[in-house]
């Protein structure tokens, strides 16, 4: 069995927020997904 991808939980939460119609949570999800990775 393969290990779960590190971002799987983030994607699940984003999908759940979108399904509920929570635009605030959906916006937060998309800002994390489209932001460049943090360094340092």
* Mean pLDDT of each 10-residue bin along the chain, 40 residues long: 84 83 78 67
Query: What's the confidence (pLDDT) of residue 36?
Result: 63
Residues whose CB falls within 8 Å of the CB of residue 16, separated by 6 or more in sequence, listed in order: none
Q: How far does CA 35 lie from the centroid of its chain?
A: 11
Residue 36 is given by DSSP the state P
| Alpha carbons 4 and 27: distance in angstroms, whole number | 24
Structure tokens at 5: 């991808």
pTM confidence score: 0.52
Query: What's the confidence (pLDDT) of residue 31?
Result: 80
How many angstroms separate the Cα of 13 from the Cα of each of 1, 2, 40?
23, 21, 26
Query: What's the confidence (pLDDT) of residue 38?
Result: 62
| Alpha carbons 7 and 11: distance in angstroms, whole number | 6
């Amino acid at each position: 069995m393969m290990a779960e991808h590190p971002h799987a939980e983030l994607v699940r939460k984003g999908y759940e927020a979108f399904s509920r119609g929570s635009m605030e949570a959906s916006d937060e999800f998309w800002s994390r997904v489209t932001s460049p990775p943090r360094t340092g």
